[in-house]
């Protein structure tokens, strides 16, 4: 009997050899100054090229989009070249890789912003959240952001478009738009963080406007078959909530279906401080029912649960985060039913190769 995890799948123009996706994972290891991907990042992604698809870590679309120290960008020539070395290594190892496009919005700090400016947001609402400013400061509270003026919003869309162009020049196979986990597009979409009274706030139609304008701009660069989006319908991470996620995400899924993008990755369960009390089945069902592209489920999956949900038609692909941190050859371990390495949470963010590229593969352990 064939293993559902290793059935191929057509994702847009990409033929994936398995259903195991490496989820986007912030690791805060870009070279300084300049937030540039470096040699250890190249090795890290090369080691994980056995994934059906790698979705590279959240990557700043602009200096304004930065919210955490040591995260990579895709807005300078040095960053484009750094990522080009990553994509070349992944492709040489037989893999496929998308870049996740990220603007943090209010989840930032003046110390990380150009000219020490206040972070921007849909509304001037201070979140109960923290961010990582420097190795010396550690996590610090986020100040009240500045509400974007209506005439600034086309410039935000342009930041995404340029970043999408840069990702193409860097050799990625496609891009994922980050509309989850309390960052800028999620802040516009969710009802509590968006208190605007212009065309970008109030009604659901207005709250969806910026995310959909960004999708259209990115599709204009890549074509619809190489674009996906990540959402967290019931997520509360970074202090966001939505009054009616079934309505919000059901309608968003319809609109994304009309635009014809390749996939929606859904953070179904828990993400750090985001506890959804189990998988929110009503939201999952309405997204799946309204979107005919590929559905990617994310959130504390085991290999067996992923197999069951793929077999039942409840997800097309399953994305794994922390298991991929500790197991560079995660698909092969799943194939063999091998024991998994345990991850070391103290090395998730920042640092050197330790806890990054030194986790052993099965082949290493069998020597």
Q: From the candidates 68, 183, 249, 349, which is the catalytic residue?
A: 183
Using CA atoms, how far residue 344 sits from 151, 161, 302, 354, in Å, is 45, 36, 18, 10
Using CA atoms, how far residue 196 sits from 124, 164, 229, 337, in Å, is 10, 27, 24, 51
The most distant pair of C-alpha atoms in the chain lies apart, rounded to whole Å, by 64
Q: Which two tokens stand for residue 96?
A: 């496929």
3-class state of residue 270 by DSSP: coil
Contact of 166 with 102, CB cutoff 8 Å: no
Query: Where on the phi/psi map is residue 36: left (φ > 0), alpha (ψ -120 to 50), or beta?
Result: beta
Q: What's the CA gap between 123 and 337, in Å, rounded?
A: 49
Q: Which of 178, 180, 101, 188 is nearest to 145 (CA)?
A: 188
Q: Which residue has the tokens 């960052």?
A: 183
Q: Which two tokens stand for residue 211?
A: 């995310």
3-class state of residue 140 by DSSP: strand
* Angle subtended by helix axes 153-169 and 204-222, to nearest 10: 30
- Judging by beta carbons within 10 Å of its beta carbon (0-12, 13-18, 19+), is residue 342 exposed, middle or buried? exposed
* 186-192-198 Cα angle (round to 5): 80
Residue 148 DSSP symbol: P
| Active-site residue, 301 included | no
Residues designated as active site: 183
């Amino acid at each position: 009997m064939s293993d559902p995890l290793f059935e191929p799948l057509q994702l847009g123009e990409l033929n994936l050899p398995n259903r195991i996706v490496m989820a986007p994972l912030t690791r805060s290891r870009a070279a300084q100054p300049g937030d540039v991907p470096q040699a250890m990042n190249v090795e890290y992604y090369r080691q994980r090229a056995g994934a059906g698809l790698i979705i590279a870590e959240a990557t700043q679309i602009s200096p304004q989009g930065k919210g955490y120290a040591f995260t990579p960008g895709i807005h300078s020539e040095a960053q484009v070249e750094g990522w080009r070395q990553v994509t070349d290594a992944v492709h040489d190892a037989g893999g496929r890789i998308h870049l996740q496009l990220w603007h943090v919005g209010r989840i930032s700090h003046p110390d990380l912003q150009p000219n020490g400016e206040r972070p921007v947001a849909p509304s001037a609402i201070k979140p109960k959240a923290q961010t990582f400013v420097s190795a010396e400061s550690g996590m610090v509270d986020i100040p009240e952001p500045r509400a974007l003026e209506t005439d600034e919003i086309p410039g935000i869309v342009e930041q995404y478009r340029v970043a999408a162009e840069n990702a193409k020049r860097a050799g990625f196979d496609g891009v994922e738009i980050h509309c989850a986990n309390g960052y800028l597009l999620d802040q516009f979409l969710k009802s509590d963080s968006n208190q605007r009274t212009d065309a970008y706030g109030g009604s659901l139609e207005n709250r969806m406007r910026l995310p959909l304008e960004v999708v259209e701009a990115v599709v204009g660069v890549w074509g619809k078959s190489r674009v996906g989006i990540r959402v967290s319908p019931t997520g509360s991470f970074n202090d966001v909530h939505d009054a009616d996620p079934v309505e919000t995400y059901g309608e968003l899924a319809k609109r994304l279906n009309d635009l014809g993008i390749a996939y929606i990755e859904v953070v179904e369960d828990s993400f750090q401080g985001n506890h959804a009390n189990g998988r929110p089945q009503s939201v999952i069902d309405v997204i799946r029912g309204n979107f005919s592209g590929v559905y990617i489920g994310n959130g504390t999956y085991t290999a067996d649960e992923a197999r069951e949900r793929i077999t039942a038609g409840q997800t097309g692909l399953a994305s794994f985060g922390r298991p991929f941190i500790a197991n560079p050859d995660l698909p092969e371990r799943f194939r063999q039913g091998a024991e998994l390495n345990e991850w070391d949470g103290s090395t998730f963010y920042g640092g050197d190769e330790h806890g990054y590229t030194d986790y052993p593969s099965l082949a290493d352990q069998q020597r």
